[in-house]
Chains A and B, each alone.
Chain A
Amino acid sequence: MSLQFNNEQMTEFKRLVARYPEGKQKSALLPVLHLAQDSFGGWLTTEAMDYVSVLLNIEPIEVYEVATFYSMYNLKPVGKFVFEVCQTGPCMISGSENIITYIQQQLGIKPGETTQDGIFTLKLVECLGACGYAPMMQVGKIYREHLTKEKVDAIIAEYRMQVAAKN
């Protein structure tokens, strides 16, 4: 198997598994899938899922059925930055639709698509628990709240700069 956690990732894997009693290592599946997704390019390939099943000593199907159930696991490639914009009631009444339209215009993509340069993916999601700070979106580990068109512009520019700085 070519795909493997590096030493640092393996240490994190062991720390996660150690939280559960002997023989209950399957309980670590959700956290380990997060680790795998973060480690292997932001989405879960079949190879990555099979690797996790070997590590946890469970059947591959036990991993697939979980990976397909939870909305945070990406089963196809995504951009470097995924804009997950909330569209549920409280965000909707606070103007999320305008924000979603504006992001689509600025990035030239529809929900579920990735920009051609591979930098941005737009995803519409359901309530993220930030209703008082609406409209909002999640990008990686962070919540971007009280969104306005100006804020969206600044956020897009900020991530473009980050990518440019790395190249």
Chain B
Amino acid sequence: MGVKLLLEKANVPGIRTYDVYRREGGYATAEKALKEMTIESIVEEVKKSGLRGRGGAGFPAGMKWSFIAKPEGVPRHLVCNADESEPGTFKDRYLMEFLPHLLLEGLLISSFALGSNDTYIYIRGEYAWVADILEEAIVEATKNGWLGKNILGTGFDCMIHVHRGAGAYICGEETALIESLEGKRGNPRIKPPFPAIQGLWMRPTVVNNVETLAAVVPIIKMGGDEYAKIGVGRSTGTKLISACGNINKPGVYEIDMTISVEDFIYSDEYCGGIANGKKLKACIPGGSSVPILPANLLLKTAKGETRYMNYESLSDGGFATGSMMGSGGFIILDEDQCIVKNTLTLARFYRHESCGQCSPCREGTGWMEKILQKIESGKGEVSDIDLLWDIQRKIEGNTICPLGDAAAWPVAAAIRHFRDEFEWHIHNRELSQTSNFGLQHYADPIHVPA
């Protein structure tokens, strides 16, 4: 069993309620932070922990906190990004649904460190029942003196508000999220100014992911140095992985980032192997926008070394032969899956979710979807593959926000690693409508679980 810092108590009956959470030692860390620590020392511990943003970008959280401007007389805000919408990702939902008070405790400590008296949880609109769970937890925490005025007699006031979105992937981008929180369309802002200087209502704002803010609790509890000892290199602490697709045990797992990808997929403690006795074909290891990898490049790097479930190892080889940790949305595809079709559903997703502000993304995502639809339905031509490649290249890096990149990367990686499957579709128009390309050489040497 690996180290568990976030989900350690997830199976305690009733842990969702304040009484049980408190009895299990909850809020003791918040008490320590508010009563015994200074703002500077909390930020210092988070910096020392090496905690990297768990939403997808992996930016050091302590450093992000240290950028917040502190102009005299201007309120500051902490915003918790609970707009979890990256296909393959459902870890924040699990955390909020089962351990709402852990998130609130992390929010309280972080709000204190950042000087936020009004903190917002921006939760995706579809998680309506999770929003209800959070609201209930806020009522309980307020009743017990952990939120409200003059918390624990320290003079610090803090209220946490739940704000439901209404269905828009783009609002996971922090400036789109802020626009949405202001009651507008989720159009990302041009940066600079960064939210740390001018964010919500043009006030200094820090936006952090749910898991990032929950991780503040174990960091303050054990100290940043101790936290940093878990994991490896710059991948410190634990990470939640939401595993899905063709595996025996889909679900949310907490890993300490020293486990190999192979063990994660095949061990009974985690994914439990590929479902229905099938073979592994490919994997999107960090949410739909990160590059898809064929089995042979997933389990071992291009250099033939074992690949591990951490930031550095998953990205080993760059985009040529590696991928990314991303949000931790781990999608497994078995031998029966069609890469063209999978890429098409993702292209459709990004076309649907493009906010329409930048031409390369607005036009490019729809164009890519159309071409992929054409190939998938047996009407493709070889030149379509080159056209797809050209379009994705012209979207990447040419948009205000990273959605453009997120839409381009899955298409690029699918062509990079599975070009012959695309060509097979084009050359076998009729056959491709009734059967799949299959495993072919993508899993060479084919993995045989022990």
Q: A residues within 8 Å of B by Cβ? A: 19-21, 24, 26-31, 33-34, 56, 58, 62, 65-66, 69-73, 87-90, 92-94, 125-134, 138, 141-143
Contact = CB atoms under 8 A, between A and B. Distances in A.
Contact of A90 (B118, B169, B185, B331): B331
A73 to B, nearest CB: 6
B382 interface: no
A30 B164 contact: yes
A30 B180 contact: yes
A89 B342 contact: yes
A88 B243 contact: no
Interface string B246-279: 1000111000000000000000000000000000
B164 A34 contact: yes
Contacts of B185: 65-66, 69
A28 B88 contact: no
Interface stretch (B15-23, B64-72, B345-353): B345-353
A24 B183 CA distance: 9
B183 A29 contact: yes
A150 B201 CA distance: 50
B276 to A, nearest CB: 12
Interface stretch (B39-47, B98-106, B121-129): B121-129
16 contacts: A20-B161, A21-B75, A24-B201, A26-B182, A34-B125, A56-B183, A71-B167, A87-B345, A88-B345, A89-B331, A126-B169, A129-B90, A131-B89, A132-B251, A133-B90, A133-B250
Contacts of B251: 132
B6 to A, nearest CB: 17
Interface size of B as a range: 35 or more
Interface string B327-355: 00101011001000110011011001101
A26 B183 contact: yes
B245 interface: yes
B316 interface: no
Contacts of A132: 90, 242-244, 250-252
Contacts of A129: 84-85, 89-90, 93, 124, 126-127
B129 A141 contact: yes
Contacts of A29: 183-184
Nearest to A56: B183
B84 A126 contact: no
B87 interface: yes
Given A89-B284, A89-B342, A132-B244, 7 more contacts: A21-B201, A88-B288, A92-B342, A94-B244, A94-B246, A126-B349, A141-B129
B84 to A, nearest CB: 5
Contacts of B244: 90, 94, 131-132, 134
Interface in B124-146: 124-129, 132
7 pairs of A and B residues whose beta carbons are closest in the complex: A29-B183, A70-B166, A71-B167, A132-B250, A72-B167, A131-B244, A26-B183
A33 B164 CA distance: 10
B242 A92 contact: no
B349 A127 contact: yes
A128 B125 contact: no
B198 to A, nearest CB: 15
B33 interface: no
Contacts of A56: 183
A143 B126 CA distance: 9
Contact of A71 (B90, B127, B168): B168
B4 interface: no
B364 interface: no
A19 B161 contact: yes
B404 interface: no
